[in-house]
């Protein structure tokens, strides 16, 4: 697999590395979308096999693909020049919109006019949140694969409420003590190191990133993919609930792949084929500026 390694800077000057997958010269995408931006999940990066292999499947059919790091790539990484720690453990999810905008800018400047956003797991949250909060008319469609439910109320009403409440309390105590950047181990809703401020940003009572609540703000076609084996509290019924809430999308659909595990990692070919069929079903629109 030959790719072009590249990098862009977001508006904060953070360098984001990635790979551009150019389509074959004799291949032409089906449907109006001509490029796909792929966003990784928690504690991974643009070279994660799931992201990379999805990009390769799309590229072969004719879609230009950009797999790019967000500032929240990997668990922790250090910007040595500025002595700042970044990574999933420190992510303030709203700030990741700057990364996606820089990525869309890259594809737009390369000549692509109908850009789809595709993300796995937390990457699915990032692309859907961008679609819901940014009036970026260059984005033609959004494809969240295994989006995570970030809902304080939902978790508190679940069988995991005691464990979740303890983690919230721990994060609140650290923030109150001025230790918002201190890392701690969390086992819910995902086993991961978190900074206290980041944990509360994603999982706090404000529910800033509850995609079911945000879905009515999505006004572009959206296709959500889930797996029948995704029964964890953070994933259960998420694809269905999100699609039904997207009442202002001209084409909000979802599919559950039988036997699919989280991010459909065990059925990548089937997931890619399902996404390709949906992209082909989109109606052409006038180029946006």
195 lies in the same domain as 232? no
182 shares a domain with 42: no
Does pLDDT of 287 surpass 70?
no
Given a cut of 50, is residue 286 above it in pLDDT? no
- Do 21 and 155 lie in one domain? The reply is no
Query: Does 1 score more than 70 pLDDT?
Result: no
In tens, the pLDDT along 44-77 reads 999 999 999 999 999 999 999 999 999 999 999 9
In this structure, the answer to whether residues 30 and 49 fall within a common structural domain is yes
Tell me, yes or no, whether 115 lies in a domain. Answer: yes
Q: What is the CATH number of the domain that holds 247?
A: 3.40.50.1820
| Residue 194 CA, distance from chain mean position | 18
Q: Classify residue 289: in a domain, yes or no.
A: no
Look at the chain and report how many structural domains it folds into. Answer: 2
266 shares its domain with 139: yes
Q: 44 and 127, same structural domain?
A: yes
Please check whether residues 119 and 66 belong to one and the same domain. Answer: yes
Q: What percent of the chain has pLDDT over 70?
A: 98
Q: By residue range, what is the domain housing residue 89?
A: 4-150+209-281
How many other C-beta atoms lie within 10 A of the C-beta of residue 82?
Answer: 9
Judgement on whether residues 17 and 114 belong to the same structural domain of the protein: yes
At 288 the pLDDT is 45
User: 145 and 161, same structural domain?
Assistant: no
**Model pLDDT for residues 182-211, shown as the tens digit of each residue:** 999 999 999 999 999 999 999 999 999 999
Same domain, 52 and 165: no
pLDDT at 74: 97
Task: Specify whether 172 is located in the same domain as 36.
Answer: no
* pLDDT-based confidence at residue 289 (cuts at 50, 70, 90): very low
């Amino acid at each position: 697999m030959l790719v072009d390694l590249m990098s862009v800077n977001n508006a904060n000057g953070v360098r984001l590395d990635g790979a551009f997958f150019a389509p074959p010269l004799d291949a032409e995408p089906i449907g109006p979308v001509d490029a796909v931006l792929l966003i990784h999940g928690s504690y991974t990066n643009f070279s994660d096999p799931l992201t990379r292999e999805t990009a390769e499947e799309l590229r072969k059919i004719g879609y230009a693909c950009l797999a790019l790091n967000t500032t929240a790539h990997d668990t922790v990484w250090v910007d040595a020049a500025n002595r700042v720690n970044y990574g999933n453990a420190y992510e303030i999810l709203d700030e990741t919109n700057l990364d996606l905008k820089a990525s869309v800018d890259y594809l737009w400047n390369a000549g692509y006019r109908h850009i789809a956003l595709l993300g796995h797991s937390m990457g699915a949250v990032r692309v859907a949140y961008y679609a819901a909060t940014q009036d970026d008319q260059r984005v033609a469609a959004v494809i969240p694969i295994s989006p995570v439910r970030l809902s304080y109320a939902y978790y508190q009403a679940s069988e995991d409420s005691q464990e979740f409440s303890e983690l919230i309390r721990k994060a609140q105590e650290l923030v109150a003590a001025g230790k918002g950047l201190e890392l701690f181990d969390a086992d819910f809703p995902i086993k991961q190191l978190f900074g206290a401020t980041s944990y509360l940003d994603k999982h706090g009572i404000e529910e800033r990133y509850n995609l079911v609540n945000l879905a009515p703000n999505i006004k572009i076609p959206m296709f959500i993919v889930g797996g029948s084996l995704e029964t964890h509290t953070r994933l259960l019924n998420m694809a269905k609930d999100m699609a039904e809430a997207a009442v202002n999308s001209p084409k909000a659909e979802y599919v559950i792949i039988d036997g699919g595990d989280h991010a459909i990692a065990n059925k990548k070919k089937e997931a890619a084929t399902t996404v390709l069929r949906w992209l082909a079903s989109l109606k052409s629109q006038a180029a946006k500026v």
